[in-house]
Amino acid sequence: MRDQSNHDGADKRGAARMRTILGARAVFQDGRSAIDCQIRNISATGALLSLSETLSLPPVFELEIPMRQTKWRAVLRWRSQQAAGVQFLDEQKTSASSGAGLLALEMENAMLRKRVGELVRRLAELGHSEWQK
């Protein structure tokens, strides 16, 4: 397992991440054990978790997000003192149909907002002042 500090700077993720702060719980040992954590960024394929350096995560666990009523089966990809990177092994599982797709829509919205900001900055650089905020 590699430490985050060894990351070479190239982003090898399959999907763009959305910054967030969501309370979550890593559940393992058939639901008998759980570790509270925070999700700092998330995508359709993985997440960055913030958690205490004294806690140990198993190689595979369920990541539950109670506020969103969702959970994923996740594999630990790297661990540093206070953070961990996980990859989702399967599609999002939703325990309440009203929450289905909400996180995906929020991620898409954040990506579109970022892209619009980039385009507005580029237009301003090209002298189109009417596009400046």
Q: In this predicted model, what pLDDT tens digit does every residue of 60-76 receive, in sequence order?
A: 999 999 888 888 899 99
**19 by DSSP, 3-state: which?**
strand
From first to last of its 133 residues, what are the pLDDT tens digits of the chain? 444 444 433 345 556 778 888 999 999 998 999 999 999 998 888 999 999 878 889 999 999 998 888 888 999 999 998 999 999 987 655 444 444 456 666 767 777 788 888 888 888 888 887 755 5
Do residues 26 and 35 touch, judged by C-beta distance below 8 A? yes
Per-residue pLDDT at 44: 83
Sketch the domain layout of the chain as residue ranges. Answer: 4-96
Q: Which residues of 76-101 are buried (b: 16+ CB within 10 A; e: fewer)?
A: bebbeeebbbbbbeeebebeeeeeee
Q: Does the domain spanning 4-96 belong to CATH 3.40.50.12280?
A: no
pTM reported for the whole predicted model: 0.61
In this structure, what are the phi and psi dihedrals at residue 119, rounded to the nearest 5 degrees? -65, -40
